[in-house]
């Protein structure tokens, strides 16, 4: 048996495994600018970190009276995002190290993300993470996005793992809340530093307050091996 026993790991993608948020920001800014003429700042964007693309676009459609359907908007956002993402999406080095170590140990792993399935597949392939992460589920495939637990429970189902055996890696408060609702442990690495005190992070097994700059693969491995 692995050092990590029956533990399975579920990774959020954006802001957790890869630094994709700048690309999503640029894609969102361009989409809103073209369709509504509105400005869209980085501070505006931070409100939507951790919320699925589908839910964000549904909100914008209602709020700004955009005529296009949500599926049309999602296709538009994906087109803009993937053009940027294929050019440059950095993987956090310590996260890549962690994924490779867990893969070598035979730990079951999945990605559960609020991005579209097409975007997840493209990012995993473009970064080479698809060599270790072959199982993934998008929030568009389940009834509710984060903070509901649906996407994490779907990932556990694909892995054949009990929720209590799963550890979620998340950068956003809605994802941490979803992990708790799913009955899973959580390692939290806040993407937005100001969100580190969010109540959703309070029950995390490990809270890396300084985000990816402070995160180490070894610290995460210690938590996973401890079974705390």
Which of 12, 19, 78, 150 is labelled catalytic? Answer: 12
Averaged pLDDT for residues 84-103: 95
pLDDT in tens, 107-155: 999 999 999 999 999 999 999 999 999 999 999 999 999 999 999 999 9
pLDDT in tens, 182-192: 999 999 999 99
**Residues near 9 by Cβ (< 8 Å), separated by ≥ 6?**
102, 107, 108, 109, 110, 166, 167, 168, 169, 224
Answer yes or no: 14 catalytic: no
The mean pLDDT of the chain is: 95
- Write down the pLDDT at residue 2: 66
**Residues near 74 by Cβ (< 8 Å), separated by ≥ 6?**
53, 54, 57, 116, 140
- Write down the pLDDT at residue 88: 85
Share of the chain above pLDDT 90, in %: 94
Averaged pLDDT for residues 71-83: 95
Rounded to 5 degrees, what are φ and ψ at 223?
A: -65, -45
- Write down the pLDDT at residue 87: 84
Averaged pLDDT for residues 58-76: 96
Averaged pLDDT for residues 40-67: 94
DSSP state of 90: P
- Write down the pLDDT at residue 227: 72
> Which residues are registered as beta bridge partners of 9?
109, 167
Residue 9 host element (H or E): strand 8-11
Tokens 């530093």 found at: 193
- Write down the pLDDT at residue 180: 97
């Amino acid at each position: 048996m692995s050092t990590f026993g029956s533990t399975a790991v579920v990774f959020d993608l954006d802001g957790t495994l890869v630094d994709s948020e700048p690309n999503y920001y640029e894609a969102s800014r361009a989409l809103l600018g073209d369709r509504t003429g509105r400005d869209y700042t980085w501070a505006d964007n931070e409100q939507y970190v951790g919320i699925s693309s589908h839910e964000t676009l549904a909100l914008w459609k209602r709020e700004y009276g955009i005529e296009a359907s949500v599926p049309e908007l999602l296709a538009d956002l994906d087109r803009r995002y993937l053009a940027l993402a294929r050019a440059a999406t950095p993987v956090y080095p310590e996260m890549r190290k962690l994924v490779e170590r867990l893969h070598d140990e035979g730990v079951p792993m999945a990605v559960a993300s609020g991005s579209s399935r097409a975007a997840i597949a493209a990012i995993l392939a473009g970064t080479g993470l698809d060599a270790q992460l072959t199982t993934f589920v998008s929030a568009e495939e389940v009834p509710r996005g984060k903070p509901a637990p649906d996407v994490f429970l779907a990932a556990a189902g694909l892995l054949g793992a009990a929720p209590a055996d799963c550890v979620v890696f998340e950068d956003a408060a809605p994802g941490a809340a979803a992990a708790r609702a799913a009955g899973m442990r959580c390692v939290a690495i806040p993407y937005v530093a100001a969100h580190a005190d969010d109540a959703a992070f309070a029950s995390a097994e490990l809270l890396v307050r300084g985000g990816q700059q402070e995160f180490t693969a070894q610290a995460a491995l210690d938590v996973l091996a401890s079974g705390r």
